[in-house]
Amino acid sequence: MTDEVVVPGLRRALTDYVRARSAALGAARRALGIGEGDANALLHIAAHPGIRPTHLREHLGITAAGITALIDRLVERGAVRRDVDPTDRRVNRISLTIDIGEEPWVQLTRFDDDFDVALLDADEVETLRFAELLDTLTAVTVGRGER
C-alpha cells in the first residue's frame, strides 16, 4: 500500500467514526430533549461524581454564570443534585440523580458502549498499537497548530 492510499483511508475512517458518534449523540440528545452542553455535563458528572461546579465549568469551557444556569436546569429537570461539601460548607458538589446506565439516559453512552464491545473482538495488540499511533498523530497535529 502506498502512503497516498493509507493516509486518506485512515483519515476517512476516523472521520466516519466521528460522524457516526456525533450522529448517535445528536439522536440521543433529541430523544432526551437536552442540548449538547447538558449532555456533555451529564457525561462528565457521571465520570466524576461529586464534582465541584468550578471543575465542571473548566471542563466545559463556559462562564461561571453559564455553569450556574446549566446546573440549575439539570437540577430542575431532576437529573442532578447539589450537595454541600462536608469538608467545606461554602462548596457544592454535583452528583447525578439519574442512572446513566438505564433507559432513557443510556442513550448518551450507547454508541461508546457498543464500540467498546466491538473492540473486545479486535486483536488486543493491534488496538493498543493503533491507540499509540493515534495518540502520536494527535500530539504532532496539536503541536503544529500551536506554532
Residue from 45, 112, 55 nearest 77 by CA: 45
Nearest to 16 by CA among 93, 115, 120: 115
- Which of 2, 9, 37, 11 has its CA nearest to residue 108? 37
Q: What's the grid cell of residue 2? A: 502506498
Span 4-12, average pLDDT: 77
Average of per-residue pLDDT across 132-136: 95
pLDDT of residue 6: 62
Average model confidence (pLDDT) for the chain?
93
Q: Which three cell numbers stand for residue 77?
A: 429537570
| pLDDT tens for each residue of 77-106 | 999 999 998 898 899 999 999 999 999 999
Region 114-128: what's the mean pLDDT?
A: 95
Tell me the C-alpha distance between 74 and 80, whole Å.
6
Quote the crossing angle between the two packed helices 3-32 and 36-47, to the nearest 10°.
100
Rounded to a whole number, what is the distance in angstroms from the first to the last CA of the chain? Answer: 32
The structural domains of the chain, ordered by start, are 3-108 (1.10.10.10)
User: Of 116, 95, 80, which Cα lies nearest the Cα of 49?
Assistant: 95
Please state, in angstroms and rounded to a whole number, the distance separating the CA atoms of residues 60 and 58: 6
Instruction: Decide if 47 contacts 14 (C-beta within 8 A).
Output: no
In whole angstroms, how large is the CA radius of gyration of the chain? Answer: 19
pLDDT of 75 strictly over 90: yes
3-state secondary structure of 7: helix
Rounded Cα distance between 99 and 79, Å, is 9
